């Protein structure tokens, strides 16, 4: 995973896990990598992964079975879809539409 400078690493890891859920690479009740495993795989401090998992737990994307590990929550995909759609429609799409207007992109060009 390549990290970018302007966003905290734990949020980038969280986004990556959420993308895997959206792509259905991770499904409800799937076990995810342990903190140590993921930290080693990504080359980051285990505390960073712990912060990622705490964040995902706080928004009910994953849950912890004490002594067993972390798992994907039942409504994880639906929650992620809802949040991502809202962000896209309220933040990203308006910027795209402004850019299209600035560049005078027509509907015909867009449909092609």
Strand partners, 60: none
4-17, pLDDT tens digit by residue?
Answer: 889 999 999 999 99
Total-model pTM: 0.85
Residue 3 belongs to some domain of the structure: no
Q: Which domain holds residue 24?
A: 9-111
35-48, pLDDT tens digit by residue?
Answer: 999 999 999 999 99
For the cut 90, the answer to whether the pLDDT of residue 1 exceeds it is: no
Whole-angstrom distance, CA of residue 73 vs CA of residue 56: 10
* CATH number of the domain that residue 93 is part of: 1.10.10.10
Contact 75, 63 (CB under 8 A): no
Contact 80, 22 (CB under 8 A): yes
In this prediction, residue 19 carries a pLDDT of 97
Residue 4 belongs to some domain of the structure: no
Residue of 25, 45, 24 whose CA lies nearest to 13: 45
Strand partners, 102: none
């Amino acid at each position: 995973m390549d990290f970018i400078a302007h966003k905290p690493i734990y949020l980038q890891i969280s986004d990556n896990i959420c993308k895997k859920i959206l792509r259905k690479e991770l499904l409800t009740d799937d076990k995810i990598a342990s903190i140590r495993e993921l930290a080693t795989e990504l080359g980051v401090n285990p505390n960073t992964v712990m912060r990622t998992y705490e964040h995902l737990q706080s928004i009910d994307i994953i849950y912890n079975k004490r002594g067993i590990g972390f798992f994907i929550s039942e409504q994880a995909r639906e929650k992620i879809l809802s949040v991502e759609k809202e962000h896209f429609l309220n933040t990203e799409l308006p910027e795209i539409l402004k850019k299209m207007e600035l560049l005078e992109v027509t509907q015909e060009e867009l449909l092609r």
